[in-house]
Amino acid sequence: MKELKRNKDMPNIIAFPEMNSDIERIVKDSILQKYEAEEYMEIKYKPYFKWSSFSTYYLIFKSLVYFFINYSNQEKITSYEIDGINLGIPILSSAYRSFKVYDSKLYLFFRIFLQIILSTREYINSIDISSKAGSVYITDISYRKNILFDICMKKNIKVFTKKYPYSLVCFNDLNLTALEISKIEYPKIEFSNAEYEAYMMGRLKNPKDFIPYYSPEGNSKLININKSDKLSVLIYAHSFTDTQLISGYDGFLNVYDWIEYTIDNLLNKNVEIIIKGHPNFWAEGFKSGIAEWDMKIWKKLIKKYDSLEKITIIDFPVDNIDLLQKLDVKKTIVMTHHSNALVEAAYLGYKSVSSSCCPWGNDYYSFGKTWGSRIEYKNILENLDKVKPVNKMMLKNFVSDTFMNKYGYFGEYSWSSVLANDAGITTLDLIKEPNLVSISNLKNYKSTVTKIANNIQYVH
């Protein structure tokens, strides 16, 4: 593996991508205020093909050869690296971001081919960026942006970023990759049992007050669930096009692959299968088209399984507690890939099964049964009677650090909460329509920037 060395002559140079909106300017000014160097220089970076360099042609050729040799084995593509930097996960997570790939193998081939080229370009660009700066701002650590983050961590370069579940943070002196960062044990906060209980019950009863992106309106539809003596398995569906493989590969390339595999295996068991659609399948008012894409794939899943007697599909938004209260906690197992709804079910005492590639998939947070490969998952499905109750201490660890952390994504001091409050709107409004915030409608721009800057946490 080639050693990546930091350019020690450029410690006070900070690199930003192109940032044109008012919100981006606010974030940038907050980072610069937080930046510790008394004197610094800004540089900008953007994607480009470095056609003048022989290494560009060599690396793209190398990547394409790997692609054509291994296309039929996408699991192998997930492990594709250049000099120890993983490109395979960014390639496939970006490819599966389009709903069209689920209906066309030819389109999937094209998407992976394109992402091979773009991810290789990202690697080349990232080497250049990291050689010129001592700190870098990355808008979010996901998809192809993983590559720049991993290179910066190897070279001990500070990275400012908006990363779930940490809000706006600075990563420094961490020997971790983008795939590992979401599971880091941070900040290990302790709350009293009374505070913890109050938070979880409040979240269950009034999710809109606690989950900033929770959007769909409730309804009065009745949930008809068979009252048999069979074991019930509740499956939480996910977004099919957003954040695929965000924490690594666990035997499944995307959550549609996972949910199909789960259902097909459970159909051979003496169980009742209940599938709950993600509430944001019915979200309205978001600029992103993710909800629309997900609904297309969700309807495909319904068409395949809805006629089967063993399966109940909840094809409308319903609050988690309203569903869980209709189930028998003693004869129900809850399954998900990485949905936070599982955390709520676990709090109410439901046994849980989830991927190890999720925010609670480590020793400090892993409150339920997890799998790290398709073989492990198959074994769990074959032995549901051996799934143990959740570890309440680890569950509280996760909730405390992720949901109750006032500086985290859900907290009152997160950059988005501060900005929304100063703009006189809700955080949900900000997520749905970022253009609602402008520098001109902030009463005290300097004060807003200072508050956001002061709440940037260092993760190291």
User: Which tens digits make up the pLDDT trace of 328-349?
Assistant: 999 999 999 999 999 999 999 9
- Average pLDDT across each block of 10 residues of the chain; the chain has 460 residues. List them in order: 47 88 93 82 92 93 95 93 96 92 94 97 96 93 94 94 88 88 85 96 89 68 71 92 86 95 95 91 71 88 92 91 92 94 96 93 89 96 96 96 90 92 89 87 93 91
The domain locations on the chain are 13-180, 193-402
Tell how far CA 417 is from the center of its chain. Answer: 19
What are 301-318's pLDDT values in tens digits? 999 998 898 999 999 988
Q: Pick from 256, 257, 234, 255: which is nearest to 350 by CA?
A: 234
pLDDT of residue 255: 92
pLDDT of residue 285: 66
pLDDT of residue 4: 42
DSSP-based three-state secondary structure for 249: coil
Cα–Cα distance measured from residue 374 to residue 24, given in angstroms and rounded to the nearest whole number: 40
* Per-position DSSP letters for 216-230, written without gaps between them: PPP----------SS
Cα–Cα distance measured from residue 116 to residue 288, given in angstroms and rounded to the nearest whole number: 24
Residue 51's alpha-carbon distances to 33, 60, 63, in angstroms, are: 36, 11, 16
Q: Do 187 and 458 touch, CB atoms closer than 8 A?
A: no
- Report the topology of domain 193-402: Rossmann fold (3.40.50)
Exposure string of 182-204, with b = 16+ CB inside 10 Å and e = fewer, is bbbebeeeebeeeebeebbeebb
pLDDT of residue 387: 96
pLDDT of residue 5: 47
Cα–Cα distance measured from residue 180 to residue 66, given in angstroms and rounded to the nearest whole number: 25
pLDDT of residue 293: 85
pLDDT of residue 423: 92
pLDDT of residue 429: 86
pLDDT of residue 228: 72
